[in-house]
Amino acid sequence: MTQPSTQRGQGAAADVDLPTQYRPADVEGRLYDRWVSAGLFTAGQDGPPFSIVIPPPNVTGSLHMGHALDHSIQDTLVRRRRMQGHATVWVPGMDHAGIATQNVVERELAKEGLSRHDLGREAFVERVWQWKAESGGRILGQMRRLGDGVDWTREAFTMDDDRARAVRTIFKRLFDDGLIHRAERIINWCPRCLTALSDIEVEHEDVDGELVSIRYGSDDQEGDDAIVVATTRAETMLGDAAVAVHPGDPRYAHMVGREIELPLTGRRIPVVADEHVDPEFGTGAVKVTPAHDPNDFEIGRRHALASLPVMDERGVVTASGPFEGLDRFEARPAVVAALREQGRIVKEVRPYKHSVGHCQRCATVVEPRVSLQWFVKVESLAREAGDAVRDGRVKIHPPEMAARYFEWVDNMHDWCISRQLWWGHRIPVWYGPDGEVVCPGPDEEPPAGWTQDTDVLDTWFSSALWPFSTLGWPDETDDLKRFYPTSVLVTGYDILFFWVARMMMFGLYAMDGVQPFDTIALHGMVRDQYGKKMSKSFGNVIDPLDWIDEYGADATRFTLLRGANPGGDVPVAEQWAQGSRNFCNKLWNATRFALINGAHVRGEMPEKVTTVDAWVLSRLQTVIAEVDVHLESYDFAKACEALYHFAWDEVCDWYVELAKVQLADDRAEATRRVLGEVLDKLLRLLHPVIPFVTEELWTALCMTPSEPTSGGETIVTAPWPSAEPGRADKDAEALVESLQRLVTEVRRFRADQGLKPGQKVAAALEWSGSPLAAHEEGVRALLRLTEPGEGFAATASLPVEDVVVRLDTAGAIDVAAERRRLEKDLAAARKEVEQVGRKLGNEAFMAKAPEAVVAKNRDRLAQAEADIRRLESQLTALPAG
């Protein structure tokens, strides 16, 4: 990198090699490569452990705004802990993403006119590995662009050899403990991907359907054995096993236990009573199709009903009769037409909007289907996962999210872990010639000639092992002993159940009751500036790489983190990214100014400092303490706000401007040291959030080729600032706040009069013993006020903070316009006094109003009366005319 000049700090000014403008593209890639090559992200041996495992992105994925937020939060936590002296481990890696990856490779094969069946299983899997090596994992490179400080030496993949051994080990243990079993159950099925799906792989959306009311039983409308049911899936009636009613519904009491005719089939089915039925919904009677509806499946189990599949794996009707061979969506209108012909349609088909599940990968409508699958019995595992949060071993942040977690784990059903794919961890179960079943361990060979199960494991099965498999489990490695349990899991609340609960179950099970992480920090989803979900159909999707290209990684990160309230969704807009870029530029310009003027961090702080210096040092201590509190509570938005306003408003807009006066006299050397101190610690506070610009500025400020500071050669390992209560100076803060009010009021007056910010105006200042008199030079510099010369005649007078500022604005302001403005403000202040005074004089109000409300109104009255005095004085000071 460009080295700072060795002349820095030796005189009133120094040569500075920082460019006049900050260009992220010139800095970010160079700095990141240097950090990695120096091994700065690899855990050292010293310090308390702090570990995070990255939620592994899909090998098919690319960086999106959700990733950018999640990674920015994690990087902020890890960088801060590293600066605090912790041995930090942030484990990177990818998920093999079974369905998504298989679909990608199958599409590639289709371009060649081939299918996976043309290649065969072994050759197809080899082809997927080839694709992964050549095209998979581009998101890892994008993580570098965002600045992720992960330990690349520990990169993992859910299907690498170490993870495969971990999967085989835990499957064997669960199998031997009777917690894995095979059964026919109803599951989510994709007729296009031809596999079972997990709940997270099903996306529900409201679609327009048709509600059909059908009369079962007697074909006579007046018959007492007729029951009307309504359905949006008429084709599934071919597999009905019963009609269910609520046991307390008097309308159907005479029907329970009887059989009625199922239209179109010639079969008779029973009427059963079940608590699941809502008697207030529709007719109070529902058709029961155990093979094609999850709720019906449970009703069927309770009443020993047969499951009668009427569709094959592709959604084609298999029930013998006129509908056989029709696709499910072709069969639906055909069944309705046949029912209408028989007079079974009670009401005409009417539009009906309802929620329908779609395959996340191919958007095909999901079909509930009874299928022979492998399951994990979760009752005991889920109970342990709930207990770990209830007894405090694991803390969920924000705490109100715990209720959602308990809702999931306390009501969890057995987990379907088998997938009908070729890409993934193949289920390690073999079948013998006479139906024998064996599950050998990872270091054992199956019996010769036995056949392995053809299914693979759900992707979430292997990722549930991530917090400990990435640290060497099942071996008792040093990493596992030192860094497990991991310190914090950062993830979106939308996968609290799908991934977090699974990691909790497997971590507690595999690690003898030790939780996989101490804290679960949940964040919301990134949305557009109007709070709308980002969607291609809405046209509001933002690619974070576009922002990184245009505004830099730091601006992208700062925009996301500034909106990251605990558990809340994060709105973003491009103009906010522009504002974040401007913030980085503001830091750049302030630091460059400081360097040009000799600011430095060498030697002890001066014993005697000015009031202005004492003020900024005192404010720095407050901000350090505030940032610590906010980051410890995962409130990144508040931490960023505190840093933003301190950096921009207090350091750049006030201290730097006031320091210019001090840098021109005998206070210069002390001011250079204070200015260096403030920027040094401010940049360190900001580094976890905006790592690139802070590194470039900090090394320019705090390093010279001959004199590196005690912080080392990089801000990455510089010590995190600690608050020093002894530096607090409330008197200095109060005085500078008074000065700020004075300057702000005069600036407002100038702006109201149309005076340009840089326009100089002659003024006389009457201090009346105010301590602000000692800062006259600074006040004049900030307000562009010159000394009154010969012929000075005040045309305006502003009493502010016990100081009277008399301005000669002759020819510079519109006196009539100013008089009108003051009179308007005066009328408003008098009206406020009248209204509030009337309220405070009302005995009924004073008797009933809370003390806080009364106090607030008294403050309003006092402020309005003060405004009247000020405005009257200003009007009196205006020249005639």
pLDDT of residue 712: 61
Q: How far apart are CA 700 and CA 4, in angstroms?
A: 5
- Round the CA-based radius of gyration of the chain to a whole number and report it: 36
> What is d(CA 77, CA 71) in angstroms, rounded to the nearest whole number?
10
Neighbours of 505 (CB within 10 A): 26
Alpha helices in 567-648 (DSSP H): 574-596, 611-632, 636-645
Only one residue has tokens 């088998």, namely 418
Instruction: Check if the beta carbon of residue 89 is closer than 8 Å to that of residue 49.
Output: yes
In sequence order, what are the beta bridge partners of 832? none
- C-alpha 646/C-alpha 631 separation (Å) is 16
Give, in order, the Cα–Cα distances in Å from 839 to each of 830, 834, 845, 849: 14, 9, 7, 10
450: nearest Cα among 431, 467, 463, 465: 431
Residues in the chain: 881
Name the packing angle between helices 65-83 and 138-146 (round to 10°): 50
797-823 burial string, b = 16+ CB within 10 Å, else e? bbbbbebbbbbbbbebbebeebbebbe
Q: Please give the annotated binding residues, written as ranges.
A: 536
- What per-residue confidence (pLDDT) applies to 1? 35
* b/e sequence 653-692, b meaning 16+ C-beta within 10 Å: ebbbebbebbbeeebbbbbbbbbbbbbbbbbbbbbbbbbb
User: How does DSSP assign 368-429, residue by residue?
Assistant: EEEEEEEEE--HHHHHHHHHHHHTTSSEEESGGGHHHHHHHHTTPPPEE-EES-SSS-B---
Residue 411: CA count within 13 A, CB half-sphere: 6
Per-residue pLDDT, 150:
97
**Whole-number pLDDT of residue 811:** 66
Q: Environment class of residue 450 by beta-carbon count within 10 Å: exposed (0-12), middle (13-18) or buried (19+)?
A: middle
Inter-CA distances, 440 with 164, 427, 428, 460, Å: 14, 11, 7, 22
Say how many CA atoms lie within 13 Å of 141 toward its Cβ: 6
Residue 192, pLDDT score: 87
Tokens 């030079």 belong to: 777
Q: What φ, ψ does residue 373 adopt, rounded to 5°?
A: -135, 165
Report phi then psi at 86, rounded to 5.
-80, 150
Find the angle CA(184)-CA(256)-CA(303) to the nearest 5 degrees.
15
If DSSP states are collapsed to H, E and C, what string results for 195-223? EEECHHHEEEEEEEEEEEEEEECCCCCCC
DSSP characters for 346-373?
EEEEEEEEEEEEEETTT-PBPEEEEEEE
- Which 8-state DSSP code applies to residue 10? S
Distance from chain centroid for Cα 528: 13
Buried b (16+ CB within 10 A) or exposed e, 486-497: bbbbbbbbeebb
- DSSP secondary structure letter of residue 127: H
- Walk me through the domains of the chain, giving residue ranges and CATH numbers: 195-367 (3.90.740.10), 574-728 (1.10.730.10), 757-877 (1.10.287.380)
CA 327 – CA 335 distance, rounded (Å): 12
What pLDDT, on a 0 to 100 scale, did the predictor assign at position 4?
Answer: 34
Strands (E) in 202-284, as ranges, are: 202-216, 227-231, 242-245, 259-262, 267-273
Distance of CA 752 to the CA centre of its chain: 43
Count of C-beta atoms within a 10 Å radius of residue 29: 14
Whether the Cβ atoms of residue 354 and residue 206 lie closer than 8 Å to each other: yes
pLDDT, mean of each 10-residue run, the chain (881 residues): 35 67 96 96 89 93 92 98 96 93 93 94 96 91 96 96 98 98 90 83 81 83 76 91 94 91 91 92 90 91 92 90 91 91 80 80 87 94 97 95 92 92 97 94 94 95 97 96 97 84 96 97 89 76 93 97 90 94 97 96 93 97 97 97 98 96 94 97 98 97 60 87 91 96 92 83 93 94 92 85 88 76 91 93 89 90 90 74 59
Q: What is the dihedral of CA 281, 283, 285, 288, to 10 degrees?
A: -80
Distance of alpha carbon 555 from alpha carbon 22, whole angstroms: 12
Read off the DSSP letter of residue 474: T
CA angle 736, 737, 742 (to 5 degrees): 95
- Report the pLDDT value the prediction gives residue 11, as an integer from 0 to 100: 41
Q: Which two tokens stand for residue 78?
A: 């890890």
Residue positions in the annotated binding site for ATP? 536
DSSP bridge pairs for 185: 371
> Which residue, 611, 616, 577, 562, is CA-closest to 594?
616
What is the model's pLDDT at position 349? 65
Judge whether 116 and 109 are in contact, CB under 8 Å.
Answer: yes
Residue 582, SS3? Answer: helix
**Strand duo 195-197 + 180-190: pairing:** antiparallel
CA angle 830–770–744, rounded 5-degree value = 55
The pLDDT assigned to 222 comes to 57
Going from the C-alpha of 8 to that of each of 13, 250, 628, 666, 682, the distances in angstroms are: 8, 93, 32, 18, 20
| 499 HSE (CA, 13 A, CB side) | 21
Beta strands in 668-735 (DSSP E): none
Hey, CA dihedral for 93, 98, 102, 103, is it positive or negative? Answer: negative
What is the full DSSP assignment across 516-558? SEEEEEEE--EEETTSPBP-TTTT----HHHHHHHH-HHHHHH
Q: What is the predicted pLDDT for the residue at 12?
A: 45
The pLDDT, as a whole number, for residue 711 is: 46
Grouping H, G, I as helix, E, B as strand and the rest as coil, residue 149 is coil
Question: Treating both helix axes as pointing N-terminal to C-terminal, what angle do 668-686 and 574-596 enclose, rounded to 10 degrees?
Answer: 150
Structure tokens at 535: 């969607």
Please name the residue that has the structure tokens 């840093």.
Answer: 643
What 3-state DSSP class applies to 740? helix
